[in-house]
Structure 1
Amino acid sequence: MATSGLAFFEIENSSRIASPQPAVRKDKQGTAQARSDYELSEIQLAKGSARVTSEPLTQPTTGPPSPSPSELERRLSIPDVADQVSGWAPDRTVASWKTKWRMLSVCFMSLGNGMNDSAPGALIPFIETHYNIGYAIVSLIFVTNAFGFILAAPLTQSIEHKLGRAKSYALALSIQAIGYVIIVCEPPFPAVVASFFLLGFGMALSLALSNVYCANLANPTTALGCFHGSYGIGGIIAPLFATAMVSDGIRWSFFYTITLAVSIINLGYALWAFYHFENDSPNEPQMALRPTISHQTSDGEPLSRTQVLKKSIRNRTTLLGALFIFAYQGAEVSVSGWVVSFLISYRHGDPSRVGYVSSGFWAGITAGRFLLTHPASKIGEKVAVMGMIAGAVAFQLLTWLIPNVIGEAVTVAILGLLLGAVYPCATSIFTRLIPRSMHISSLSFISALGSSGGAVSPFFTGILAQNIGTMVLHPICIGLYGVMAISWLLLPKIAKRSE
């Protein structure tokens, strides 16, 4: 900055700061009327946690005249206080860079989760052939995956409290790595089923923590769009690699060496990025539970973690949010997991080629999360989500009825585009409706239990496909869109927080 007086800025403890001086009155042109010299009064940051002070900037005796008050204000360009507190502003502070590295870390973890969820769609036909099993048996991988998500829901809060953010991420990624090692060894199918339980638990833990982290930044809808957009990138990559590998005669299980490497890299990076995360609360929102539980009993005593969890689960937004995400994830993963089998059975597609349709679906999801999230926040997330659900129903019907592979590949990609922005927009709305002190417990419940829909729905699709055919995918997804619309309409109205 050009003004030398800025060197006097420093952060002081609130106990050392005197009462602020009266503000200088200005006319419409911004010219000071009451004083000849310009003095920056103390600026109190949000909730009085920190304050910025400066010494008077006096007129120099020599040299060019000092700028007018309005010119000095323009040069200072003090960032928005909310952005300073969140660390998601484009300033050059240490806190800002820490946040950017952490945001990159959660995006990489999301990319790995996307690879994990999208790969089975391309690999299921080859898993069935290798183990000589049908749709119903192979669908057990989705069941145990769901159990992993469900088990993580009540445990995420305690794990984060005991281990801290960095070690919690390390635990989640270590569990995923163990699951991938089991699959790479190509064990008997029951061991493969068990490994998907580990994958579900690890994914649920990292997903819940990352959702809370992104939702508490200054621009949560944009941050969540990047986070979940990275999931879509992983969803694009995995079917491409998986289809190319099995088409060249490589064993299907070797694909999971890629996801194993990704999880190990993410483990080390997350430990570094979130190291001492709990000590950074002055410059970045503190989302660990230890210092910030504010719920109290009628006697004024703070509630225990179990009581906070029970209170969160009884919250209307938490319950409706879990139902909404359950239906959303169920539809998303069902399309990704079974559309390839549908094209092989009903459109006589080539198994070595139609696997790329799943990548097209995830490409649509990725584009939606990066391109539609910001416009949706401008329109209003509640209205935008309803419009995207209506569009998803229309293109699901087209996918069902168009009688050729190319046409269905296009409609599947557009379906992904419409579904892409739904998750980040919904999470942004949930964080506005849920009290801040309940974010970690409520969003953990929504992420873990809600995301189990990505395992339960594909399982039931496989069970019905065994007896009826894979065309059941489409009516199941349309029904899930209906559940999404109903639960969305039942959400409370957004009101300004009093917190």
Structure 2
Amino acid sequence: MEAGVFKALVGVEPTSSQLPTAPGRVVSRTCPAVPQRDDEDIELQDLQHPHNCAMPLDTSTRITPRKERDPEMSVPGTPGEPADAFEALPSFLDPPMNKFRVASCCMMNLLGGLTDSAPGALIPYMETYYNIGYAVVSLIFIGNALGFIVAAPLVESLRLRLGRARALGLSQLCLMCGYIPIVCTAPFPVVVCSYFLIGFGSAVSLAMNNVFCANLRDGTTILGAVHGSYGVGGTVGPLIATSLVSRVGTLFWSRYYLLTLGVSLFNATFSAWSFWDYEKEAADQHRESSSASALASSEGDGSATTTGGQPGKPAPAGTRQQLSAMFAAFRSRVVLLGALFIFAYQGAEVSISGWVISFLVATRDGDPSRVGYVTSGFWAGITLGRFALSPLGARVRGGERLFVYLVTAGAAVFQLLVWLVPSIVGGAVSLVVVGLLLGPVYPCAAAVFARNLTHAQQVSGIGVISAFGSSGGAVAPFTTGLLAQAAGTFVLHPIAIGLFGVMVLTWYGQPSVRKRTE
């Protein structure tokens, strides 16, 4: 009985029967936000990476190598570029000619220091020779400023049309044409026009050299050395000028410019030689980097083509694009604030150098033949600051941004001591410290500007900053001369401290430093 009931309850299926099919889905498990593909098979797609040859590539994808860019625009990390569109920065030793190019930049900045520091020691003798006052002799600074302003929009066009080597040679030729009338002790209006040529030539070389050095590896350190060379020129210039005038007499004050004339002649030759193949060399290096990247990307399907559709011939950057970038630089916040910052910096630096001797003579009863050496101490401080303190700017916790705040505040404090301490020795020592603290400001600022600008804006942007900003080295001393004529030479100090305040405000307005990806 029990076995029969159990058999009725449990039926054993034969081995040949099929398993029952699964019931249909009753409740949909779809998510309304995600499109469903119920009628398609789900499969894993192959992961592709253009630089990994072990992984299969989608042969339908067309690999396009990078455009060949302007050799000045080889810094990595521009926003909007693909991740594989950067290359290693050149360095002081790679390519090998770079060490001569940096030396050429140092020599041109040395000449700038020799030129800018000389008026501080020579102004008293110029006033005697031409029988003019502070206000009239200050016109040499205006001529210099106009040269910088006129050069600003032309730097990029000169570089594109002539190439770097010829453009630098032209800048040194302008300097030579400016020095010759001064050596010949031409009438004072001609001397003012000569300073226009000096300003124009200085602006062209300064802008291009800043861009070149900022785009090298360890650019802040190299800029410190290059601008330290400016300080060397500023240190020895007043020493030579004061010694020369003391020995040969006030009538031969202009013979000092024989030295600057000779250095400019050397620079014209040296810069042209060192930069002669710069564009070709940079383009070849970039082409090799691009070819290696394209080869790695296209290995396995051989489908790489150029952006212009012509195999093997990269499309060069157009001149029209470069000029458009120059005009765009004028609308950049970095460029405008940077120009104001360097305007104030150069204005304070050259005003102190140019008028502190007159202040010590008029207010402290100093002897011009002795206190003329005080300017050399100021420039010696700048030189030491640029060589020794510039590398610290990139190493402090807050970077160059915080470092510039600290040294500018310190310079203002010691400038106040020069004004208030009634001692020539105490003022001279304080002035050396002012120079020491101001020294690293320009190299650190130039490095920050280069990182905050896009590649397309770098050349023209730094050119505008250097040219318009450096005109402050003429406008501020001229204004100081006018006010000194009316109120006294003490006005130098409130003007310098006020310019330090402008530096702090414009530095605060700079955007945060964009990280470089080398």
Settle same-fold status: TM greater than 0.5: yes
Q: 1:368 to 1:254 in 2, by over 3 A?
A: same
Structure 2 residue corresponding to 1:402, chosen from 397, 421, 428: 421
**Per-residue displacement from partner, 1:166-221 (whole Å, max 9, x unpaired)?**
00000000000011111000011111111000000000000000000001001110
The letter of the residue matching 1:472 is: V
TM-score (norm 2): 0.76
Which one scores higher on RCO, CA 8 angstroms, separation ≥ 6?
2
**Is the CA contact (8 Å cut-off) linking 2:152 and 2:203 kept in structure 1?**
yes
The letter of the residue matching 1:474 is: H
**Per-residue displacement from partner, 1:250-271 (whole Å, max 9, x unpaired)?**
4100000000000000110011
Aligned partner of 2:464 in structure 1 is 445
The letter of the residue matching 2:355 is: W
Aligned partner of 2:480 in structure 1 is 461
Structure 1 residue corresponding to 2:508, chosen from 489, 492, 497: 489
**Is the CA contact (8 Å cut-off) linking 1:345 and 1:470 kept in structure 2?**
yes
**Is the CA contact (8 Å cut-off) linking 2:322 and 2:456 kept in structure 1?**
no
Q: Does 1:320 align with 2:323?
A: no
For 1:369 and 1:327, the matched residues in 2 are separated by 18
Gaps of 5+ in 2: 1-49, 56-64, 69-83, 288-313
**Per-residue displacement from partner, 1:438-467 (whole Å, max 9, x unpaired)?**
111000000000000000000000000001
- SS of the equivalent of 1:378 reads coil
Aligned partner of 1:173 in structure 2 is 172
Kindly report which structure 2 residues correspond to 1:58-137, keeping only aligned pairs within 5 A, or say none: 85-88=88-91, 95-137=94-136
**Is the CA contact (8 Å cut-off) linking 1:216 and 1:285 kept in structure 2?**
no
Deviation at 1:19, TM superposition (A): 6.7
Q: Does 1:337 align with 2:337?
A: no
Kindly report which structure 2 residues correspond to 1:89-238, keeping only aligned pairs within 5 A, or say none: 95-238=94-237
Q: 1:442 to 1:83 in 2, by over 3 A?
A: closer
Deviation at 1:158, TM superposition (A): 0.6
The letter of the residue matching 1:228 is: H
Q: 1:128 to 1:304 in 2, by over 3 A?
A: same
- SS of the equivalent of 1:492 reads coil
The letter of the residue matching 2:491 is: V
- SS of the equivalent of 1:322 reads helix
**Per-residue displacement from partner, 1:79-117 (whole Å, max 9, x unpaired)?**
xx9999433155xxxx43200010001100100011000
Kindly report which structure 2 residues correspond to 1:258-269, keeping only aligned pairs within 5 A, or say none: 258-269=259-270
Aligned partner of 2:43 in structure 1 is none
- SS of the equivalent of 2:240 reads helix
Deviation at 1:304, TM superposition (A): 3.9
Deviation at 1:281, TM superposition (A): 1.2
Aligned partner of 1:352 in structure 2 is 369
Kindly report which structure 2 residues correspond to 1:371-410, keeping only aligned pairs within 5 A, or say none: 371-379=388-396, 380-410=399-429
- Structure whose CA Rg is larger: 2
- SS of the equivalent of 1:261 reads helix
Gaps of 5+ in 1: 1-17, 24-45, 50-80, 295-301
**Is the CA contact (8 Å cut-off) linking 1:204 and 1:448 kept in structure 2?**
yes
Deviation at 1:284, TM superposition (A): 6.5
**Is the CA contact (8 Å cut-off) linking 1:308 and 1:441 kept in structure 2?**
yes
Q: 1:292 to 1:152 in 2, by over 3 A?
A: farther
Q: 1:82 to 1:272 in 2, by over 3 A?
A: farther
- SS of the equivalent of 2:459 reads helix
Q: 1:21 to 1:252 in 2, by over 3 A?
A: same
- SS of the equivalent of 1:308 reads helix
The letter of the residue matching 1:483 is: V
Q: 1:83 to 1:239 in 2, by over 3 A?
A: farther
**Is the CA contact (8 Å cut-off) linking 2:155 and 2:463 kept in structure 1?**
yes
**Is the CA contact (8 Å cut-off) linking 1:87 and 1:284 kept in structure 2?**
no
For 1:335 and 1:213, the matched residues in 2 are separated by 29
Deviation at 1:330, TM superposition (A): 0.1
Aligned partner of 2:279 in structure 1 is 278
TM-score (norm 1): 0.79
- SS of the equivalent of 1:281 reads helix
**Is the CA contact (8 Å cut-off) linking 1:99 and 1:284 kept in structure 2?**
no
Q: Does 1:366 align with 2:404?
A: no
Q: 1:406 to 1:155 in 2, by over 3 A?
A: same
Q: 1:48 to 1:140 in 2, by over 3 A?
A: closer
The letter of the residue matching 2:266 is: I
**Per-residue displacement from partner, 1:449-495 (whole Å, max 9, x unpaired)?**
00000000000000000010110000000110000000000111123
For 1:443 and 1:19, the matched residues in 2 are separated by 35
For 2:219 and 2:286, the matched residues in 1 are separated by 12
**Is the CA contact (8 Å cut-off) linking 1:347 and 1:405 kept in structure 2?**
yes
Q: 1:388 to 1:399 in 2, by over 3 A?
A: same
Q: 1:284 to 1:350 in 2, by over 3 A?
A: farther
Aligned partner of 1:41 in structure 2 is none
Structure 2 residue corresponding to 1:418, chosen from 437, 444, 454: 437
**Is the CA contact (8 Å cut-off) linking 2:351 and 2:480 kept in structure 1?**
yes
**Is the CA contact (8 Å cut-off) linking 1:214 and 1:224 kept in structure 2?**
yes
Kindly report which structure 2 residues correspond to 1:235-254, keeping only aligned pairs within 5 A, or say none: 235-250=234-249, 251-254=252-255
**Is the CA contact (8 Å cut-off) linking 1:179 and 1:198 kept in structure 2?**
yes
For 1:475 and 1:424, the matched residues in 2 are separated by 25
The letter of the residue matching 2:477 is: P
For 2:386 and 2:177, the matched residues in 1 are separated by 30
Count of aligned pairs between the two proteins = 415
Q: 1:495 to 1:87 in 2, by over 3 A?
A: closer
**Is the CA contact (8 Å cut-off) linking 2:325 and 2:456 kept in structure 1?**
no
The letter of the residue matching 1:102 is: R
Percentage of pairs with the same residue = 51
**Is the CA contact (8 Å cut-off) linking 1:85 and 1:284 kept in structure 2?**
no
The letter of the residue matching 1:376 is: G
For 1:166 and 1:143, the matched residues in 2 are separated by 29
Aligned partner of 1:58 in structure 2 is none
For 1:291 and 1:97, the matched residues in 2 are separated by 27
**Is the CA contact (8 Å cut-off) linking 2:156 and 2:323 kept in structure 1?**
no
The letter of the residue matching 2:353 is: S
The letter of the residue matching 2:272 is: L
**Per-residue displacement from partner, 1:402-457 (whole Å, max 9, x unpaired)?**
10111111000000000000000001000111101211100000000000000000
Deviation at 1:141, TM superposition (A): 0.1
The letter of the residue matching 1:270 is: S
Deviation at 1:276, TM superposition (A): 1.5
Q: 1:86 to 1:306 in 2, by over 3 A?
A: closer
For 2:421 and 2:278, the matched residues in 1 are separated by 51
